[in-house]
Amino acid sequence: MKTVLVGAGKGCRAVLELSHQGRLPFLDLEILALVDRNPDAVGCQFGRAQGWPIMDSISEAMSLPGLELVIELTGSDAVLAEINSHLPPGIRVMDHVLARVFWDLEQMFNNLQEELEEKTRLEARVQEDKARLQEILDSLPELVMVMDTQMRVMRVNRRFEEVTKTPWYKATGKFCYESFCRNETLMNCTEFTCPFIEVMRTQAPAKHVYYGEGRSGKQGYYQVTANPIFDSRGNLIRVVETSREITEQVLLKRETEESARRFKQIMNAVHGIITIKDLSGRFQLANPRACALLGLSEKDLVGRAVSEVLPPEVAEIMEHNDEIFMKQGGHIVSEERLHLGDKEVILVSERFGLKDYKGDVVSLCCVARDVTTERQLQREVLSSERLAAVGKLAAGVAHELNNPLTGVLTFAEDLLLDVDPQDPVAEDYKLIMQETLRCRRIVRDLLDYSRQKEPQRSPAQVNQIVRRTINLVERQASFQDVVFGLELDSGLPAILVDSTLIQQAILNLVINARDAMQMKGRIVIASGMWDGARGVMVSVSDDGVGIPEDRLCKIFEPFFSTKGEQGTGLGLSAVVSIMEQHGGRVEVDSTPGVGSTFRLVFPLGDGTTATGAKK
């Protein structure tokens, strides 16, 4: 259709482009000329490039031969009137309103084209994402199934195909129990065996562990996990189920737990005292022996430093030895004397580091052994050796002592024969003879003590033994400032004892009492029944300095003395030995700064041997 376009603006340019691109096939325009008084209008520029005539006169354009259609694109009523005034009969006119329809159609077409292209790009991206998702699923070592809410398989990965020997196109669309569980129906699936059913019920992830034969025919442990997928409105639309073999992990966990169980059993069974601390000195572990020694539970120790749970003097010793290890490293052995409560404990401790997988020391382990009893036995063995040495010395000098004592005894007997029995001097000679004989017995008793000979027992009154002991010492110069008080029960029965040994025991206690009072004070000797008339007691009390608490448990040990270089440490040991030989015991009550009371307890029947110290 031969056409003239009046007005070469943007609208004209749009119609020309549509026509030139063949996108107005229903009009089939053949452009005869473009009319516009502005030769540089955009439509003129486009038309000139296409070789179309450009005019500035409407009347001239209307006279073009073969003209069939005039399209007015200026939007001016005056221009439209001018066209109509020159328009030959039978020529159709399309004003700018109708021409605008073409332009709008073009815009719609462009929009649809863009939407189509965008849809194509989105579909390509979706396909790319699906392919990428499938690649990700195929790269996973676990078996993966994606199912809808009806348990129908929508997607599987390569591992699924390898394990089930089922290609994806055969598995897709089937129920999961047909492809994976090899069940023909849902009858064998329950909430307790199927994580899919549990997910559908709880709307939350579910996990189940099975033991049985896998697709490979190997017995093992398998973990199946199901996770729900929700849409934007929160509706469950998919379930992703993964399955993997965890036999190695289960066995490793069991081995780890078994190792931990064995370690705990060893820690609980060993007699050693074992603690583990971190590098900051805080307890990480303590075995029952360590807890018993420290008087605390493991819960009270773990996470706390030594200084937070133990007395300062104990914590100082432990922290000092820990610090030595931290500086020197390696293997450190030390001896620790700890005062825990009312007792002293001697430990031989070994410290060494515990390393991690990189070889770095991360913890300090201390393994200690309580050698308190061992040290006590060593002291007792040493004491026995010293007693044996005393016995040998006594045996060596006994002959030398007995000779002069025999001379003294002989001359005393001769002097006694030369005086009148009523002469007071006679009593002195008798005392000389008596004490000479006692010296000989002391030498013999020292030998007997070291050799543990049986005492020569005979019935005796304990009060008489007490009085003889007082008579021996009250005239001595060292007792001149000592006042004796006697509180003797006159109704006591006779006891079966070696009077000489008992006198020696009482004498040792009296001498100790004198020394405790610095040779000035009051000593009270009492006797009476004991323990419901089942025994007889003799006590020696002083108002001296008393015995310190930390020494009270040691005073009966051989060669232990509170007198320094002035004491031999054999006095109370001899008393204990004598009382043990008589089936009796020694008890002591002492208060520092007030005084001490020692009691000798003799059983009237068969007695038991014991030594007690009461504070």
pLDDT of residue 608: 35
- Considering the domain architecture, whether residues 363 and 388 belong to the same structural domain is answered as no
Print the domain residue range for 408: 371-453
Question: What number is the average pLDDT over the span 235-263?
Answer: 89
Q: Is 60 exceeded by the pLDDT of residue 615?
A: no
Same domain, 306 and 391: no
Mean local confidence (pLDDT), 44-54: 91
**Residue 216, domain member (yes or no):** yes
Strands 521-530 and 535-542: antiparallel
What is the chain's alpha carbon radius of gyration, rounded to the nearest angstrom? 60
pLDDT at 565 over 60: no
pLDDT digits (tens, 9 = 90+) for 389-426: 766 666 666 666 777 878 888 888 888 888 888 888 88
Q: Is the pLDDT of residue 153 over 80?
A: yes
Specify if 274 maps to a domain. Answer: no
- Residue 51 falls inside a structural domain: yes
> Pick the residue with more confidence: 491 or 11?
491
Q: What is the largest CA-CA distance in the chain?
A: 200
Alpha-helical regions (H) of 358-517 = 372-417, 424-451, 462-473, 499-516
CB 389 within 8 A of CB 446: no
Quote the CA–CA distance of 239 and 430 in Å, as a whole number. 119
Instruction: Extract the tokens encoding 598.
Output: 């020692």
Domain boundary among 368, 384, 401: 368
Encoding tokens for residue 551?
Answer: 């020494």
**Residue 430 lies inside a defined structural domain of this protein:** yes
Lowest mean pLDDT among 279-283, 389-393, 501-505: 389-393
| pLDDT interval class at 235 (50, 70, 90) | very high
* pLDDT tens sequence across 419-452: 888 888 888 888 888 888 777 766 665 555 555 5
User: Does residue 597 share a domain with residue 479?
Assistant: yes
Is 465 in contact with 536 (CB distance < 8 Å)?
no
Q: Is residue 133 part of a domain?
A: no
- CATH number, domain containing residue 212: 3.30.450.20
Out of 368, 395, 422, pick the residue that ends a domain: 368
pLDDT band at 182 (very low <50, low <70, confident <90, very high): low
Spatial separation of the C-alpha atoms in residues 20 and 35, rounded to whole Å: 18
Q: What is d(CA 189, CA 210) in angstroms, rounded to the nearest whole number?
A: 14
Last residue of a domain, one of 453, 472, 491: 453
Look at residue 568 in the predicted model and tell me its pLDDT. Answer: 46
For residues 105 and 247, the model is more confident at: 247
Write down the pLDDT at residue 33: 93
Sheet holding 595-603, edge to edge: 482-487, 521-530, 535-542, 595-603, 585-591, 610-614
The mean pLDDT of the chain is 83
Residue 401 lies in a domain: yes
Q: Kindly state whether residues 568 and 478 are assigned to the same domain.
A: yes
Averaged pLDDT, 56-64: 91
Q: Say if residue 3's pLDDT is above 70.
A: yes
pLDDT of residue 562: 59
| 445/295: higher pLDDT | 295
CA dist., res. 527 & res. 60, Å (int): 165
Looking at the fold, whether 483 and 579 belong to one and the same domain comes out as yes
CATH number (domain holding residue 447): 1.10.287
**What is the band of 152 on the pLDDT scale with cuts at 50, 70, 90?**
very high
Residue burial 439-451, b: 16+ Cβ < 10 Å; e: rest: bbeebebbbbbbe
Does residue 307 sit within a domain?
yes
The reported pLDDT for the residue numbered 187 is: 44
Q: Answer whether residue 271 is part of any domain.
A: no
- pLDDT, residue 394, reads 64
Shared-domain flag, residues 339 and 469? no
Residues 333-386 have pLDDT tens digits of 999 989 888 788 999 999 999 999 899 999 999 999 988 888 888 877 776 676
Q: Which of 25-39, 174-188, 534-548 has the lowest mean pLDDT?
A: 174-188
pLDDT at 512: 85
Burial class (CB in 10 A: 0-12, 13-18, 19+), 516: buried
Q: How many domains is the chain built from? A: 5
**pLDDT for the residue numbered 396:** 64
**184 three-class SS:** coil
- pLDDT, tens only, 304-317: 999 999 999 999 99
pLDDT at 405: 79
412 and 560 together in one domain: no
The confidence score (pLDDT) of residue 362 equals 92
Residues 464 and 585 reside in one and the same domain: yes
For residues 594 and 459, membership in a common domain is answered with yes
Lowest mean pLDDT among 28-32, 142-146, 392-396: 392-396
Residue 563 reports pLDDT greater than 60: no
**What pLDDT, on a 0 to 100 scale, did the predictor assign at position 115?**
85
> Do residues 72 and 62 both lie within one domain?
yes
pLDDT for the residue 205: 94
Assign residue 81 the CATH number of its domain: 3.40.50.720
Share of the chain above pLDDT 70, in %: 84
Q: What is the mean pLDDT of residues 208-237?
A: 83
Q: What is the pLDDT of residues 98-129, one digit of tens each?
A: 766 666 666 776 777 788 888 999 999 988 88
Amino acid present at 456? Q
Q: What is the domain-level CATH number for residue 477? A: 3.30.565.10
The region of weakest confidence among 268-282, 395-409, 473-487, 592-606 is 395-409
Q: What is the pLDDT of residue 348?
A: 92
Residue 567: the pLDDT is 45
Model pTM? 0.44
460 and 574 both lie in a single domain: yes
Task: Give the integer Cα–Cα distance in Å for 184 and 162.
Answer: 21
Do residue 195 and residue 337 come from a single domain? Answer: no
Share of the chain above pLDDT 90, in %: 28
Instruction: Rounding to the nearest 10 degrees, give the CA dihedral for residues 235, 238, 239, 240.
Output: -130
Question: Count of H helices and E strands in the chain?
Answer: 19, 23
